[in-house]
Copies of this chain bind each other. A is one copy, B any other.
């Protein structure tokens, strides 16, 4: 059996796991990122964590083949460089090389959403599918493109920015500078904004009882309102699902993947989101009933998707 280290670098924690070639996690742990430190210290901590987990798992030096890192921001995976991370305030940091130096193993770096996409493809909700598109609904809309069970990253790994596909030209302002991006309509941030706007227009809404301070609205609030039968909550969700369906139908028409995998906090809503979403998106697909619908499934690895995917990225890229 061959083993790989998977590292999920976040702004708060570094999560790490020792993963076998079948995708099972043997040992995992996390340490604080301490993101203000020089990157060399962070790299040294990563290497030490990998070594201690490998020892705990009883893995011999030669059985651990490579390490993979999923990092926030734009990553040039061919060079192992974090080109830009808003989250960790890094610019052109050669993280891959630093960890390789400290660990003495090949190290491969990709974007965190890409790592999660690969994790779900290898061992999670998309494991029965050759081609899948992973979409996370969080602060933004992130994504990963899996074709032939491998990550498609585009030129200099700059692709898969699916949140920055415009679905309504001239519409809502996006953080990227364009107007009308998918992210500006379908992220958790967008759902929260849409909920607050609807509350302002309807002082009688039950949403006010659930959340007297609009600043406390989160992605769960409108779904809680829906369960209470609140019409305003119902309308917010109907519209949100409509925007989400537009973006997913675009991806389905462009890729016709075997499945779309949804991740991120908004998915906790489960069927209240998924059932109307499937219905709406499939009505939008080109070719109508000529083809089977594109399945939409919920990510199943949770917080482990990133480290399992990072380990599998190392497995694929190291040729194991």
Residues of A within 8 A of B (CB): 74, 83-84, 131, 145, 147, 152-162, 164-171, 176-178, 180, 242-243, 246, 249-251, 253-258, 284, 286-288, 290-291, 294
Whether B164 lies near A167 (C-beta < 8 A) is no
A72 to B: closest C-beta gap in Å: 14
| Residues of B contacting A180 in the complex (Cβ-Cβ under 8 angstroms) | 168
| Residues of B contacting A166 in the complex (Cβ-Cβ under 8 angstroms) | 167, 246, 249-250, 284
15 chain-A/chain-B pairs, Cβ below 8 angstroms? A131-B154, A154-B256, A154-B257, A155-B257, A155-B294, A156-B291, A159-B255, A159-B257, A161-B253, A167-B168, A169-B242, A176-B286, A177-B288, A178-B284, A251-B254
Q: In the complex, which residue of chain B has the Cβ closest to the Cβ of A168?
A: B169
A151 to B: closest C-beta gap in Å: 12
Most-contacted residue by chain B among A84, A250, A287 (CB, 10 A) = A250
Whether B161 lies near A254 (C-beta < 8 A) is yes
A94 to B: closest C-beta gap in Å: 16
Q: How far is the CA of A152 from the CA of B253 in the complex (A)?
A: 13
Whether A256 lies near B162 (C-beta < 8 A) is no
Most-contacted residue by chain B among A74, A156, A165, A294 (CB, 10 A) = A165
